[in-house]
Amino acid sequence: MAAAEKKPKKKRGFEPRPGRVVQAYTFALDPNAGTEARLRSHCGAARVAFNWNLACIKANLVQRDAERSYGIAEQELTPALDWSAYSLRKAWNAAKEEVAPWWGECSKEAFATGCANLATALANWKASKSGVRKGPRVGFPRFKSKRRTVLSCRFTTGTLRVEDDRRHLTLPRLGTIRTHENTRKLHRRLANGSARILSATVSYRRGRWRVAFQVEVKRETDAQARPEAVAGVDLGIKTLAVVADDSGRTRQVPNPHHLKKELGRLRRASRKVSRRRGPDRRTGQVPSNRWCRADAERKRVHHRVANLREGALHKLTTSLAREYGTIVVEDLNVAGMVKNRRLARSIADASFGQIRRQLDYKTVWNGGRLVVADRWFASSKTCSACGALKAKMPLHVRVFDCDECDLVLDRDVNAARNLAALAAACRTGTGVAGDRDTPVSKPRGADRKTRTTRRGRKATAGRAGGTRPAPRGKEARDRRRDTQLTLW
């Protein structure tokens, strides 16, 4: 009997129709007191459903571990709970009368949000534990705190509408809410039939309620100015980005330093808060009204910095994605870079990770592609003219002086040109650094070099051939400096 043909696996998640992409439209809201209370109630309902399901799953896991310790067979253990969103939601609906008698005051989508979030967290933990998920290890889900959890709720069914006056929108059970911004960009697409709302997520961030519509949008793939153009983008602190294209043109994008410009105001606001009577959970002390006003003023400074940074990054990435068909960036280890206490603040203010994330999806929107160079690709130490590689080039050396040819060039400009030249090698699929077809050497995708370290005193004293102690004073400082320069 012939073997049955295997059916192709179905793709999980929503797949947009051909010629369309999934895009988010975010608008700030201006809810009144009653609407804001209902928004907080829905977000709290999502948190309650999340915590209740998580408590049931943890109790089930503890029970099964206890039974195993007593020598009970695996077939006779308490049945394991299903971690899918459907099963969690079904279990919640069966117990909501006793757990939350007030459940009728909120939309069913609020509880479904908590169940879906827990299912996603459990799936990420399981995939990370088995090595399927790349990146850092994901821990087991923890209970959501009432004070620190970001208020958020997602609506997938019911009335999701943008009103014709372009100043209001309608959500299930929440009714019509006024928007702080004009919704004409989304309303035009909905009116001409080039967009369809899939879901709406309301959240409280940076001191303001916002709604993000997930929309299936029809986009033109030939929206780029030069589809065949290639650009290499080198990110930095002094200069936010150096862009070099294949035609030889180079331009520098200055770093606006949003946080650095507001540090004076932030320090004054922080000192003002410290002089007031703040909250103390250990003693139950309630903050004074003066502390609340001072804390709100300090938060406004942080919110202003975050908004300015977000706007500047969106303008930069949008212009790059629309102008170039292929963009090459470096795979920077931002998590390791921020461990440098001298540069951590500046690196965090530049938001290298956000630039790469936005370029990743904006290049797809405009029909282009994003090429990520290998983390150990020597873009700064390689000559962009002859290809010669320098042995050492410390971070404080800002000018590249080639030893083989007469090229003298800014360090960042040289790196950007090397990244732009890397795109040609990626098209051939030769397996060089930056080729998207090159297999990852480790299943978790976190390739790291072993850091050079010195042996301790005990290890040095115990080796054959003598008992020389570990270096001290000037000798130790020189050795640490040489090691740091080698790592850079």
SS3 of residue 319 by DSSP:
helix
Q: How would DSSP label each residue in 333-347?
A: -HHHHTT-TTTHHHH
- How far apart CA 308 and CA 261 sit, in angstroms, is 11
Catalytic residue (one of 246, 295, 412, 435) = 412
Helix H or strand E encompassing 137: none
Task: Identify which of 428, 436, 422 has the alpha carbon closest to the alpha carbon of residue 379.
Answer: 422
Q: Exposed, middle or buried, 20 (CB in 10 Å: 0-12/13-18/19+)?
A: middle
Q: Residue 106 CA to chain centroid, in angstroms?
A: 30
Q: What is the largest CA-CA distance in the chain?
A: 86
Q: Which residues contact 98 (CB under 8 A, 6 or more apart)?
A: none
Compute the half-sphere exposure of residue 11: CA atoms within 13 Å on the CB side of its CA.
Answer: 4
Q: At what angle do helices 85-99 and 33-69 cross, to 10 degrees?
A: 110
Active site residue 220: no
Task: Identify which of 122, 109, 110, 111 has the alpha carbon closest to the alpha carbon of residue 82.
Answer: 122
Active site residue 234: yes
Catalytic residue (one of 234, 245, 295, 323) = 234
- How far apart CA 185 and CA 206 sit, in angstroms, is 23
- How far apart CA 122 and CA 141 sit, in angstroms, is 7
Note every long-range contact of 374-378, with CB atoms under 8 Å and residues 24 or more positions apart, other chains counting.
374/331, 374/433, 374/434, 375/330, 375/331, 375/332, 375/333, 375/447, 376/433, 376/447, 376/449, 377/330, 377/422, 377/433, 377/434
Q: Exposed, middle or buried, 3 (CB in 10 Å: 0-12/13-18/19+)?
A: exposed
Helix/strand/coil percentages in the chain, nearest 5: 40, 20, 40
What does DSSP say about strands 369-373 and 324-330: parallel, antiparallel, or unpaired?
A: parallel
Instruction: Give the C-alpha distances (Å, rounded to integers) separating 19 from 12, 216, 222, 341.
Output: 19, 10, 11, 46
Tokens of 208: 């303001």
Catalytic residue (one of 109, 330, 349, 435) = 330
In 165-276, DSSP assigns E strands to: 168-171, 175-178, 195-205, 208-218, 226-235, 239-245, 250-254
Active site residue 403: no
Name the region of 162 (left: φ>0; alpha: ψ -120 to 50; beta: rest). Answer: beta
- Give the catalytic positions in this structure: 234, 330, 412
